[in-house]
Amino acid sequence: MGKHWKHPGGRGNAGGMHHHRINLDKYHPGYFGKRNQSFCPTVNLDKLWTLVSEQTRVKAAKNKTGAAPIIHVVRSGYYEVLGKGKLPKQPVIVKAKFFSRRAEEKIKGVGDASVLVA
């Protein structure tokens, strides 16, 4: 009676950023802070050939059996390729971090290749 023993560390999860910091960092990493904030700029299939120079586009149209031009979507500032629009029937290799299901189907339907880049 008369002793302050009931909540020595604070009530509940109190002190997670302060006096219980070691426990939370060790056993619950990522408990504090923002979550599900994803940065994923997207580009549609119909805008894909605008990422390549006009010279490369003309050369690829003339030389259909040669090496296909490579479109690096990430270098142009985009991460994901979405499936809106149509691709011309020209061989091309598309490199991106993510592809939507429909975009991948359309790229392979034209005979092109889609490559995932980390």
pTM over 0.75, yes/no: no
Q: State the pLDDT at residue 1.
A: 64
Spell out the CATH class of 42-116.
Answer: alpha beta
- Render pLDDT for 96-113 as a digit per residue (tens, 0 to 9): 999 999 998 888 888 777
For residue 48, which of 107, 97, 108, 100 has the smallest C-alpha distance? 107
Q: Where are the domains of the chain?
A: 42-116
In angstroms, rounded to a whole number, what is the distance separating the alpha carbons of residues 38 and 107?
25
List the strands of the sheet with 98-99, edge to edge: 42-44, 80-82, 98-99
Q: State the pLDDT at residue 93.
A: 87
